Amino acid sequence: MTVGRDVAQALISAHGSPLYVYEAAVLRARARRLRRSIGRDGVRWFFAAKANGNREILKVLREEGWGVDAVSIGEVLAARTAGFTPAEITYNGNNVTDDELRAVAAEGVHISVDGLPQLRRVAALGLAPTVGLRLNPDVGAGHHHHVITGGPDAKFGAAPEELDEALSIARDAGIVIDGLQQHIGSGILDTDPWLAAVDVMLRHAERLPDLAFVDFGGGFGVPYRPEEHPFDVDAFGAAVTPRLDAFEKRVGRAIEWRFEPGRYPVCESGTLLVTVTAVKRTSRHLFVGVDSGMNHLIRPALYDAWHPIFNLSRPDAPTSVVRVAGQICESGDLLAVDRELPTPQEGDILAIGNAGAYGFAMASTYNLRPRPAEVMIDDDGATRVIRRRETIADLLG
């Protein structure tokens, strides 16, 4: 995180607090790093817009040569209005309605169905000549059990044993299953589970007579805690490339290889700036109350996630162990639990790092509190509002 005290103060003076701030340079650097990790043709990177659906973020990634992976019609339309063509968008939604499937197909966006029931519905509705199929490869990984999306407890995808039935449903309906998709989980920092999932997926992919693409999903982790190591994208690329080469040699043709990371490109580009509104000592804790909370960044409450926090206003003050609490009427509304920080005082600005992914995207209006504005710091250092601050009038509308 490079948003320093002066920039933070100026941004809050101009746009108010709390405030989401994104750095385009960081976003571009992470996006390029991933793209460079696999140095072969036929690889496409789709940004999972669920991590951050802001159109201006999507536009930067479009400039970096990425597509968009959408899980809802809303995300499809966000990508379309950000300038992506239908062919630059993938869609896979689970438990979605016929209306949503119709709307996605009407946009001309390719659908990967989540399992046999959705495949039957797409067939009955006559929506698409080709579909992908999401597979649950029975391999799961992730930073918290809520984000493990493969394996026996996950609601996603079709089981590998259902592949033959899927092919026969599709054949009867005159649909071609042209690709397999998977996503085993989120926040994966080790390459091993990832590679294991690649191997499983490639084994199943060989069973598809009309295979045009394989989509390995997202899940590339970023370190949040100082002791965590980064995901080794280069080692991953070096290990994956020969597997893809060997597969193409075996089947005798080129395949399109897709990845759909969300967190990796955007996470470290985003910071949530908040202002201290109260400092209160109880019999057990020193609570530092801020003008934000789980309504703007739910990850600590939902996943016990640890986000770096900096006291930008007094970095050199003597430290205390504090609980950073939000404004929401829930005891679980804590952004940090027992964290050593330069002791904050009312009015201090705190910066919460790694907030670019699943931050604003998961924000809510719980307690009827509006969501913050979002600001982009462009490559040349200029700043612009990329989403205006919500107002109470918006919520009462």
Residue 270: name the closest of 222, 237, 314, 233 by CA.
222
Structural tokens at position 239 = 């290990």
HSE (side-chain half, CA atoms, 13 Å) at 162: 18
**DSSP character for 257?**
E
Cβ–Cβ under 8 Å, residues 205 and 214:
yes
Query: What is the closest distance, in whole angstroms, from the C-beta atom of residue 232 to ligand PLP in the complex?
Result: 16
Alpha helices in 116-205 (DSSP H): 116-125, 163-173, 191-205
Residue 354: name the closest of 313, 311, 300 by CA.
300
User: How many whole angstroms separate alpha carbon 262 and alpha carbon 101?
Assistant: 22
Query: What is the closest distance, in whole angstroms, from the C-beta atom of residue 50 to ligand PLP in the complex?
Result: 6
Nearer to ligand PLP (CB atom), residue 289 or residue 356: 356
Nearer to ligand PLP (CB atom), residue 94 or residue 383: 94
Please, is 282 exposed, middle or buried when counting C-beta atoms within 10 Å of its C-beta (0-12, 13-18, 19+)?
exposed
User: How many whole angstroms separate alpha carbon 318 and alpha carbon 313?
Assistant: 13
Nearer to ligand PLP (CB atom), residue 262 or residue 372: 262
User: How many whole angstroms separate alpha carbon 51 and alpha carbon 313?
Assistant: 29
Contacts to ligand PLP by CB under 6 A = 48, 50-51, 69, 92, 149, 183, 186-187, 217-220, 260-264
Nearer to ligand PLP (CB atom), residue 310 or residue 358: 358
Cβ–Cβ under 8 Å, residues 170 and 131:
yes
Catalytically annotated residue among 329, 382, 393, 396: 329
Nearer to ligand PLP (CB atom), residue 79 or residue 274: 79
Query: What is the closest distance, in whole angstroms, from the C-beta atom of residue 94 to ligand PLP in the complex?
Result: 9
Nearer to ligand PLP (CB atom), residue 92 or residue 118: 92
Please, is 366 exposed, middle or buried when counting C-beta atoms within 10 Å of its C-beta (0-12, 13-18, 19+)?
middle
Query: What is the closest distance, in whole angstroms, from the C-beta atom of residue 218 to ligand PLP in the complex?
Result: 3
Query: What is the closest distance, in whole angstroms, from the C-beta atom of residue 251 to ligand PLP in the complex?
Result: 24
For ligand PLP, the nearest residue by Cβ is: 218
Nearer to ligand PLP (CB atom), residue 222 or residue 272: 222
Chain-centroid distance of CA 229 in Å reads 19
Establish whether the linkage from the previous residue to 18 is cis, with ω within 30° of 0.
Answer: yes
Query: What is the closest distance, in whole angstroms, from the C-beta atom of residue 187 to ligand PLP in the complex?
Result: 6
User: How many whole angstroms separate alpha carbon 88 and alpha carbon 85?
Assistant: 5
Query: What is the closest distance, in whole angstroms, from the C-beta atom of residue 318 to ligand PLP in the complex?
Result: 38
Measured CA to CA in angstroms, residue 176 lies from 99, 171, 183 at distances of: 22, 7, 21
Strands of the chain, DSSP E: 19-23, 43-48, 67-70, 89-91, 110-113, 130-134, 176-181, 213-215, 256-259, 270-281, 286-290, 309-311, 319-325, 334-342, 349-352, 373-377, 383-387
Structural tokens at position 353 = 């790092």
Structural tokens at position 333 = 């509304």
329 in active site:
yes
Nearer to ligand PLP (CB atom), residue 224 or residue 310: 224
Query: What is the closest distance, in whole angstroms, from the C-beta atom of residue 321 to ligand PLP in the complex?
Result: 31
Enzyme catalytic residues: 329
